[in-house]
Amino acid sequence: MGFSLKQAGIYAIFLALGGGVGWAGSQSMRSPQVPPVALPPPAESPSYRPVQTTSMPPLAPPTTTSNNLIAAAVKKVGAAVVRIDSSRTVAPLPGSFQNPLLERFFGEEFEPPPENIEQGTGSGFIISAEGRLITNAHVVQGADTVTVTLKDGRTFKGKVLGVDRVTDVAAVKIDGTALPTVALGNSATLIPGEWAIAIGNPLGLDNTVTAGIISATGRSSSEVGIADRRVRFIQTDAAINPGNSGGPLLNDQGEVIGINTAIRANAQGLGFAIPIETGQRIAQQLFETGNAQHPYLGVQMMDLTADTRERLKQDPNLNFLVSAERGVLVIQAIANAPAALAGIQAGDVILSINTLEINTASEVQDQIEKTRIGESVAIEIQRGNDTKILQVKPIAYPENQGG
Catalytic residues: 138, 168, 245
Please report, for residues 131, 170, 231, 280, 290, the alpha-carbon distance to residue 161 in angstroms, rounded to integers and kept in the order given.
12, 8, 21, 14, 6
Q: Nearest CA to 234 among 205, 214, 255, 208?
A: 214
Q: Nearest CA to 262 among 242, 278, 238, 239?
A: 242
Bridge partner residues of 219 (DSSP): 233
Torsion, Cα 25 29 35 37, to 10 degrees, reads 30
The answer to whether the CB of 241 falls within 8 A of the CB of 202 is: yes
The answer to whether the CB of 346 falls within 8 A of the CB of 377 is: no
Q: How many CA atoms lie within 13 A of 403 on its CB side?
A: 16
153: left (phi over 0), alpha (psi -120 to 50) or beta: left
Dist CA 32 CA 205 (whole Å): 86
Dist CA 190 CA 186 (whole Å): 8
